[in-house]
A and B are shown apart, each in its own frame.
Chain A
Amino acid sequence: MKVRFWGVRGFFPAAGADYLRYGGNTAALEVIADSGARLAIDFGTGAVGLGRALLGAGFGVGKGVLSVLLSHTHLDHTAAMPFFVPVFIPGNRIDVYGAVDNNKLHDVLELLFDPHVCPINSQKNLNASITIHDVVDGPLAIDGFAVRALRVPHGHATGVVWRIEADGKSIAVVTAIDHPASGPLPAAIELAQGVDLLLHDGAWRSTSDHYARRWGGATVSTAVAVAVRAGVKRLMLTHHAPQHTDRDLDALLAEAQALSSVPVWSAMEGETIEV
């Protein structure tokens, strides 16, 4: 199983010369099983590049099938849905999985396309066949993968953390979660138990950071605590803050490595890793 990072930034994209190494696009991941089965996680601006790349893999001629798991509906995880080219090509089948407070993910995503904010007007004007699914906690039937969802608190919104297994390997994606002040959420630790790769939000150095207090998001030390308690093989920090330059992220990674008894990496846009 391989993971490709199309976007690793949180909150909003970071454009500029100081953000080129880690990359400035917001959340988007591609997971490819050895069988060729593929799924995507999140529709941040990184998904624009994924959408273009998929055109050569059947999606350009309307023969594509893709499941997309949303960690939540904040714009850094959904903004590129109207710019994901496969949605415009008739014949493509796209299933979107996620959760919102009122269990009407379709209606919340429809607001992304509202004519006030988007010229597309409505999801009805997308030519691909798109089905939006509200998930509950537990396993999910997705071809080629064993997927498990867990809904968690995330600010005023609902987050979903995911465990994905294929080829005898496992990944946990924990990028939209507010852990309690007392420590990591036990259910999240259980979900991530023993995975080969944990992707965890590690945007901030400290919860007292000016922006952490305003925008939420996890600290590097929380990410490390989850990784250690869940006994994961490797931790990868992602959802980098848009204020953090390449040098800031190098420094944060070094701090995380000093804290952690499991190997820690920091996600970079454009990288593909073998799990």
Chain B
Amino acid sequence: MQAIFWGVRGSYPTPGPETVRYGGNTSCVEIASRSGERIVIDAGTGLARLGEWLAQRQLDTGRFDLLLSHMHWDHVQGLPFFAPCHQGKAQLAIHALRPDVVKLRDIVRGVARHEFFPVALDDMAASFEFHEVHPGRRFRASAFAIRPFRLNHPFGAVGYRIDGDNSSCAYVCDTAPFNLLLHKKHFLKGPEPLSTTDRRQLQNLRASLVQAVQGCDTVIYDTHYTQDEYARFPHYGHSTPDHALDLLHGQGVRRLVLFHHAPNHTDAMMDEIDAQYRHKGEQLGIEVVTAREGLALPIGNAASSGPMHLVAVP
């Protein structure tokens, strides 16, 4: 199994010379099995690049499972530009957490409105299926067994553990840590006082996440902020590498991937973050890798999925 990073940026795309090494496209990760089956997690602008890559190789996508962590723009804005959406034969199965009452299909349709994109969802040639994700209820997507768990993010987000090829990885994005504040369905101007119920809910969220990542080979984690930035914006729903290491330490996780980099983080800053947390990870017995666009990362036994390398992003 391999994870291929097509977009690693959070909030909004950041093209330009200062982000060219780590990449400026928003969240999109492909998980590919040894035998060539694939799923994609999140549909940021990286998805458009994946679509180009598939089109250039004339790969028949057929049915395509797309797992969404949540619907914030940086996780869906690439969908209407994904080449397979415009192929009659393609079948896109979208899996996402359905917020109460509102139907997932309507939300995706709302995202791909003609006011925002040149082609509305209903005019795309591909056919779309919509599957509601229930945290805690496992399902299969392509060759993989998926275990979804709820995260701490405004309006709700879901993470996924993915098992396949006798190995496993997890995608934990977007999420705030589980101590200071609980994200609900209203706008937070800043941290709000926690009730006893809130505290219990945070403990439950943390416990279900810890359980899900238990023994995972590789965990891809929302480490958007540095510690200083987090102190200024604790209510934006993101974590730091320290939060990730703190949560994963002692859970039998081999490797942490830093992901969803803040848009203001230049390549020079990312080099510093990379060096700092590789060192901290070594001390805790966790290998730390900083995600960059085009990185193909073997999950589990490298001999069966090849060495770490960069793919040519179109």
Tell me, yes or no, whether A binds B.
yes
Task: Let me know if B13 and A13 touch, CB within 8 A.
Answer: yes
- C-alpha spacing A13/B17, complex, angstroms: 14
Binary interface encoding of chain B residues 13-28 relative to chain A, with 1 for a CB under 8 A from any of its CBs, else 0: 1111101100111000
- C-alpha spacing A26/B113, complex, angstroms: 19
* B44 to A: closest C-beta gap in Å: 10
* B226 to A: closest C-beta gap in Å: 18
Task: Let me know if A15 and B11 touch, CB within 8 A.
Answer: no
Residues of the B chain whose Cβ atoms lie less than 8 Å from the Cβ of A73: 115-116
Scoring B14, B76, B78 by chain A CB atoms within 10 A of each residue's CB, the highest score goes to B14
Task: Let me know if A12 and B187 touch, CB within 8 A.
Answer: no
Task: Let me know if B118 and A74 touch, CB within 8 A.
Answer: yes
Task: Let me know if A11 and B118 touch, CB within 8 A.
Answer: yes
CB of B139 within 8 Å of the partner chain:
no
Task: Let me know if B115 and A16 touch, CB within 8 A.
Answer: no
Within 8 A of B (CB), among A115-165: 115-122, 125, 155-157
- C-alpha spacing A57/B24, complex, angstroms: 28
Interface residues of A (CB under 8 A from B): 9, 11-17, 19-20, 23-25, 45, 48, 73-75, 78-80, 82-83, 100, 108, 111-112, 114-122, 125, 155-157, 214-217, 242-243
Given A16, A80, A114, A214, which contacts B12 in the complex, CB threshold below 8 Å? A80
Specify the chain A residue showing the minimal Cβ separation from B7.
A15
Task: Let me know if B155 and A116 touch, CB within 8 A.
Answer: yes
Task: Let me know if B154 and A119 touch, CB within 8 A.
Answer: yes
CB of B48 within 8 Å of the partner chain:
yes
Task: Let me know if A118 and B73 touch, CB within 8 A.
Answer: yes
- C-alpha spacing A115/B12, complex, angstroms: 16
Task: Let me know if A116 and B116 touch, CB within 8 A.
Answer: no
* A168 to B: closest C-beta gap in Å: 35
Task: Let me know if A24 and B24 touch, CB within 8 A.
Answer: yes
Can you list 18 residue pairs at the A/B interface with Cβ under 8 Å? A11-B118, A12-B13, A13-B24, A13-B25, A13-B45, A15-B19, A20-B17, A24-B13, A45-B15, A79-B12, A111-B116, A115-B187, A116-B102, A116-B155, A117-B71, A117-B76, A155-B114, A156-B114
Task: Let me know if A115 and B25 touch, CB within 8 A.
Answer: no
Task: Let me know if A116 and B24 touch, CB within 8 A.
Answer: no
CB of B185 within 8 Å of the partner chain:
yes
Interface residues of B (CB under 8 A from A): 9, 11-17, 19-20, 23-25, 45, 48, 52, 71-73, 76-78, 81, 86, 99, 102, 107, 110-111, 113-120, 154-155, 185-187, 189, 236-237, 263, 293, 313-314
Task: Let me know if A15 and B115 touch, CB within 8 A.
Answer: no
* B106 to A: closest C-beta gap in Å: 10
Residues of the B chain whose Cβ atoms lie less than 8 Å from the Cβ of A48: 12, 263
* B131 to A: closest C-beta gap in Å: 17
Scoring A17, A75, A119, A121 by chain B CB atoms within 10 A of each residue's CB, the highest score goes to A119
Given B17, B23, B110, B189, which contacts A111 in the complex, CB threshold below 8 Å? B110
- C-alpha spacing A15/B11, complex, angstroms: 15
* B90 to A: closest C-beta gap in Å: 14
Given A79-B12, A122-B187, A215-B118, A243 contacting B71 (CB threshold 8 A)? no
- C-alpha spacing A116/B9, complex, angstroms: 19
* B100 to A: closest C-beta gap in Å: 12
Task: Let me know if A25 and B16 touch, CB within 8 A.
Answer: yes
- C-alpha spacing A83/B52, complex, angstroms: 27
Given A16, A117, A157, which contacts B313 in the complex, CB threshold below 8 Å? A16
* B69 to A: closest C-beta gap in Å: 13
- C-alpha spacing A15/B13, complex, angstroms: 8
Specify the chain B residue showing the minimal Cβ separation from A124.
B187
Residues of the B chain whose Cβ atoms lie less than 8 Å from the Cβ of A120: 187
Task: Let me know if A20 and B110 touch, CB within 8 A.
Answer: no
Residues of the B chain whose Cβ atoms lie less than 8 Å from the Cβ of A20: 16-17, 20
Given A73-B115, A108-B115, A155-B118, A12 contacting B154 (CB threshold 8 A)? no
Contacts A12-B13, A48-B263, A214-B118 known; 11 new A-B pairs at CB < 8 A:
A15-B25, A16-B24, A16-B313, A74-B116, A111-B115, A112-B116, A117-B73, A118-B73, A125-B187, A155-B118, A243-B314
Given A16-B15, A16-B24, A214-B86, A116 contacting B115 (CB threshold 8 A)? no
* B12 to A: closest C-beta gap in Å: 5
Residues of the A chain whose Cβ atoms lie less than 8 Å from the Cβ of B314: 243
Residues of the A chain whose Cβ atoms lie less than 8 Å from the Cβ of B189: 125
Residues of the B chain whose Cβ atoms lie less than 8 Å from the Cβ of A24: 13, 15-16, 24
Residues of the B chain whose Cβ atoms lie less than 8 Å from the Cβ of A111: 110, 113, 115-116
- C-alpha spacing A12/B118, complex, angstroms: 11
* A118 to B: closest C-beta gap in Å: 6
Given A9, A116, A122, which contacts B107 in the complex, CB threshold below 8 Å? A116
Residues of the B chain whose Cβ atoms lie less than 8 Å from the Cβ of A112: 73, 116
- C-alpha spacing A100/B114, complex, angstroms: 11
Given A20-B20, A119-B154, A15 contacting B77 (CB threshold 8 A)? no
